[in-house]
């Protein structure tokens, strides 16, 4: 029987040798060395953020209510502004009672929720007397303000809102503001003999009324 033809075997590659590629090698250009003498280029600074627009808290108030108010009281309305959605009217001190009665009866601000003061000692009219009003009928709030100097009295509104009785006494006690026409203006928190008004900016909390403390409590002030 004739021998079957045998397939030729591939040539053996010697151990450790790689087969020769038929593709000619591609030469890679060597990287250009950095010039040590060239100065380093600093990175560009980040662009500055644009400045934020200023926050405007107070804007002039000129709505229908202010128009009605100005038509009735004219120059007695010294300022009308809106501060964070709060309507604020600053009025002449002498006309406070008439204005308060109008706001209660005609504009339905039937509740005096708070009466307080702010001291600005470097200002000629150093005190802001602040009345915060509320209307149940309209569900609205209104801030009413008057300015007063250290020697000026502020008309009492007890006859308009009876709750002002105790609130005006507290302002008198803490700030020393006199409310003319108040039925019983005397201290409500501190002893009647106490010297000074603690919520004035020039009141020294460390000194207080040392004589009263020593006489009535038997200790030195600050203990």
> Which pLDDT belongs to residue 18?
52
Position 47 scores a pLDDT of: 83
Q: Where in the chain is the domain with CATH 3.30.460.80?
A: 58-189
* Listed residue (185, 180, 151, 148) closest to 167, CA to CA: 185
Helices in the chain by DSSP H: which ranges? 64-73, 96-105, 164-175, 210-217
pLDDT of amino acid 1: 47
Write out the DSSP string of 86-99. EEEEEE-GGGHHHH
* pLDDT of 215: 79
End-to-end CA distance of the chain: 130
What stretches in the chain show pLDDT beneath 70?
1-39, 207-208, 221-223
Token pair listed for 220: 């030195």
pLDDT in tens, 113-136: 999 999 999 999 999 999 999 999
Q: Over the stretch 7-44, which tens digit does the pLDDT of each residue have?
A: 555 555 455 555 455 555 555 555 555 556 666 777 88
Question: Residue 168: what pLDDT?
Answer: 98
pLDDT at position 101 is: 98
Distance CA 156, CA 146 (A): 12
* Nearest CA-CA partner of 174 in 152, 147, 205: 205
Domain 58-189 has CATH 3.30.460.80: yes
Can you give the pLDDT at residue 36? 60
Nearest to 166 by CA among 147, 143, 185: 185
């Amino acid at each position: 029987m004739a021998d079957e033809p045998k397939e030729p075997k591939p040539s053996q590659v010697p151990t450790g040798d790689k087969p020769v590629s038929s593709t000619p090698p591609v030469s890679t250009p060597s990287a250009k060395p950095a010039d040590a003498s060239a100065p380093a280029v600093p990175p560009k600074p980040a662009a500055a953020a644009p400045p934020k627009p200023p926050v405007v808290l107070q804007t002039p108030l000129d709505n229908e209510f202010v128009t009605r108010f100005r038509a009735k009281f004219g120059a007695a309305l010294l300022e009308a502004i809106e501060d964070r959605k709060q309507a604020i009217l600053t009025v002449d001190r002498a006309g406070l009672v008439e204005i308060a009665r109008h706001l209660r009866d005609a504009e339905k601000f039937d509740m005096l929720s708070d009466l307080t003061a702010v001291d600005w000692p470097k200002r000629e009219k150093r005190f802001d007397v602040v009345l915060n009003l509320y209307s149940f009928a309209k569900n609205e709030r209104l801030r009413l303000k008057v300015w007063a100097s250290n020697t000026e009295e502020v008309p009492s509104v007890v006859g308009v809102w009876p709750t002002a009785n105790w609130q005006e006494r507290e302002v008198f006690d803490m700030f020393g503001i006199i409310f003319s026409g108040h039925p019983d203006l005397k201290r409500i928190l501190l002893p009647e003999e106490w010297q000074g008004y603690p919520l004035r900016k020039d009141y020294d909390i460390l000194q207080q009324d040392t004589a009263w403390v020593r006489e009535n409590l038997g200790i030195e002030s600050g203990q």
